Amino acid sequence: MMTILQIVRDFGPVGGMERYVWELCHHLPEQGFRVDVLCEHCHAGPDKSLTIHEIGGSRFHPRWLSALDFSHRAARWHARHARPGVLIHSHDTTGFHHVATFHGPPFAEIRSRPLWKRISPRVAANLWIERRQLLAPSVRAIIPNSEMIARKLLRLYPEIAPRLEAPILPGVASIPMRDPAQQRKRPHVIGFVGREWKRKGLDIAVHIVRQMLKDEADLELVVIGPDPAEIRPLLGNYPGPYRLLGGVDASEHYRHFDLLLHPARMEPFGMVIAEALSAGVPVLASDQCGAASILDANSILPVNAPLECWVQRGLEKLARPVTPFRRSWDEVAAEHAELYRRLV
């Protein structure tokens, strides 16, 4: 039986990338693989079929130093425990892996910024880490998590072309479906979901809904993810009802939405888009979301489109029926299994 060593700093369903790794690891044994996991910490109770190797957290800050530290400690662990025939799949900042999944926006985009923003130890370290992650001699395959990330990587690192695989999109767990009869209910609920609210465009979403209220007075805004105390100033003098739910599990709330707004400035994928669609919720998102590939053209707008375009499109899509998105984690694991077998 082939062994796959998965590498991720935090193992558990604690974030979008971490959820991807967690689900992949739990579905790979059904594809005939033994799965080992190398991580700093395991944040949940994994299946007994997995072997977990925890090496502890870093004592270094800021983030780029802790990333370098994890990379060095992971390499030392591997030097002590390396076994022949193990395929190494990294989702993090290592340099001895065979397969790399790239989950985030490429740091190398910083090269387009003014020179004074590019001269620092942090920038130099992150550029070196990213280049090694993609171009280390051991790397045989690079998996982007969306078409958008694939295009960015090819533009910034054209030399990876022979190693770049087709994107393997995340799966979506079973989520309670929106009741079609909800379309007749009032108020209509517009949802925003995302902890990193600045990058995901909560301020833009608030402006959009403010304007929508001028044409459709019966709207309620629901925000999930950010700390309510942090974002309440954004809603000063907000003219309609709203709820700030904090870090609750969004999967139980999608079914109450009549529209998900996601005007993100940069979103490598956007699991909330896939989750909302799987619950039968209409979505309006920016063109800076990797998950735009699963949306129809009427569900996407340029992030810098005029506010009135967002308002008009939002009103058009409000509570409209949609075809639910379906993609299982079994499919994700099967696509990885095909790649692993091709590489050995």
Length of the chain: 344
What's the average model confidence in pLDDT over 80-86?
Answer: 95
Nearest-angstrom CA–CA distance, 52 and 280: 36
What pLDDT is attached to residue 41? 96
pLDDT by residue (tens digit) across 247-273?
999 999 999 999 999 999 999 999 999
Looking at the chain, the domain(s) classified CATH 3.40.50.2000 span 3-171+328-343, 180-317
Q: Which two tokens stand for residue 187?
A: 């108020």
- φ/ψ region of 128 (left if φ > 0, alpha if ψ in -120 to 50, else beta) reads alpha
Cβ contact 192:262 at 8 Å: yes
What pLDDT is attached to residue 117? 85
pLDDT by residue (tens digit) across 189-246?
999 999 999 999 999 999 999 999 999 889 999 999 999 999 999 999 999 999 999 9
pLDDT by residue (tens digit) across 321-343?
888 999 999 999 999 999 999 99
| pTM for the whole structure | 0.91
Q: Is 33 helix (H, G, I), strand (E, B) or coil?
A: coil
What pLDDT is attached to residue 183? 66
What pLDDT is attached to residue 305? 98
pLDDT by residue (tens digit) across 12-57?
998 889 999 999 999 999 999 999 999 999 999 888 999 999 999 9
CATH topology of domain 3-171+328-343: Rossmann fold (3.40.50)
Listing DSSP states for 200-255 in one string gives HTHHHHHHHHHHHTTT---EEEEEESS-HHHHGGGGTT--S-EEEEES--GGGTGG
Looking at the domain that runs over 180-317, which CATH code has it been given? 3.40.50.2000
Residue 323 DSSP label: P
